[in-house]
């Protein structure tokens, strides 16, 4: 059953009256459209690596390969398999975050400990190519440590992935009027203004090939958005193309 609100406009036109009937796209329909888009995007994202894997398997089955070529093919198949794994993990995370059967389990969060993990993950991903610092000056908060780790980790890993080697990344936890803020600043590629409002949409990317090259699934900021919705927080983004970006998460105090 599709709810549709019909809107009838009566428009005078050259002594006659025209009737224009339009319809309002209801919430149900909008959700349905988003679901369809999500399935189409997710299927496409999974099909691409699978096509590569099946292609290499066909070659392996039909030709004798020298050991070096065989190894190179295996490595490429492994990379594509890992890409599918990341995507499926992010899709499952998003669906858990959206599920009503999965309420937030809130507890006191040791923010310093959590951010030390985020810092060491970011440094591992950077492999020494960036200067990454962390300052912790804010209070502890309540929330789900796992969900907050995933949100903060996604922002920090984006800063690494979208900042060329030699750049700087600053992670800061500070007190704010509402509670506390996590700020991630980078000196990376930046984002032009027209993209900023769409970044938390699933699979929205400014540059698909760069996102894929750096293991992006296109779901990181959607995960951040849903974690923040569950915690009563919000995300603000300021950025300048070619100069760098700043992502600020604001969370209510305990
Ligand atoms: P992805 O896996 O593609 O990085 P995200 O949802 O995490 O997916 O981010 C969506 C898009 O936002 C990215 O593809 C990229 O274009 C842009 N983006 C996110 N973080 C940054 C950043 N720190 N600097 C520049 N662009 C960014």
Closest CA to 219 of 125, 118, 94: 94
Q: pLDDT tens, 119-171?
A: 999 999 999 999 999 999 999 999 999 999 999 999 999 999 999 999 999 99
Q: What is the atom index within ligand 1 of the atom nearest the CA of 219?
A: 6
Q: Which of 196, 241, 252, 240 is nearest to 221 (CA)?
A: 196
Q: Taking the mean position of all CA atoms in its chain, how far away is CA 47?
A: 20
Q: Which of 83, 204, 205 best tests ligand 1's pocket when mutated (most atoms within 8 Å of CB)?
A: 205
Question: Which of 150, 211, 227 to mutate to test ligand 1, by most ligand atoms within 8 A of the CB atom?
Answer: 211
- Which atom of ligand 1 lies nearest, measured to the CA of 200? 6
Ligand 1: residue whose CA is nearest its atom 10? 205
pTM, full prediction: 0.87
What does pLDDT average to over the chain? 91
pLDDT surpassing 80 at residue 18:
no
Pocket test for ligand 1, best of 38, 83, 130, 158 (most atoms within 8 A of CB): 158
pLDDT tens across 179-213, in order? 999 999 999 999 999 999 999 999 999 998 888 88
């Amino acid at each position: 059953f599709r709810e549709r609100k019909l809107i009838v406009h009566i428009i005078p036109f050259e002594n006659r009256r025209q009737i224009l009937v339009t319809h309002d796209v209801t919430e149900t329909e909008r959700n349905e459209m988003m679901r369809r888009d999500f399935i189409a995007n997710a299927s496409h994202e999974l099909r691409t690596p699978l096509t590569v894997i099946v292609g290499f398997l066909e070659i392996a089955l039909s030709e004798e390969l020298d050991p070096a070529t065989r190894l190179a093919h295996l490595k490429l198949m492994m990379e594509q398999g890992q890409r599918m794994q990341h995507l499926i993990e992010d899709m499952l995370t998003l669906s858990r975050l959206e599920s009503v059967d999965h309420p937030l389990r809130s507890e006191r969060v040791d923010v310093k400990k959590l951010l030390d993990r985020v810092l060491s993950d970011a440094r591992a991903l950077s492999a020494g190519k960036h200067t990454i610092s962390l300052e912790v000056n804010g209070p502890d908060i309540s929330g789900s440590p796992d969900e907050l780790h995933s949100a903060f980790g996604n922002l920090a890993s984006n800063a690494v992935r979208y900042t060329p080697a030699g750049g700087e990344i600053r992670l800061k936890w500070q007190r704010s009027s509402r509670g506390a803020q996590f700020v991630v600043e980078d000196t990376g590629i930046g984002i032009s203004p027209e993209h900023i409002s769409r970044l938390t949409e699933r699979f929205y990317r400014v540059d698909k090939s760069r996102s894929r090259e750096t293991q992006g699934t296109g779901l990181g900021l959607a995960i951040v958005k849903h974690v923040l919705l569950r915690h009563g927080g919000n995300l603000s983004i300021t950025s300048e193309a070619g100069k760098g970006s700043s992502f600020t998460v604001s969370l209510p105090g305990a």
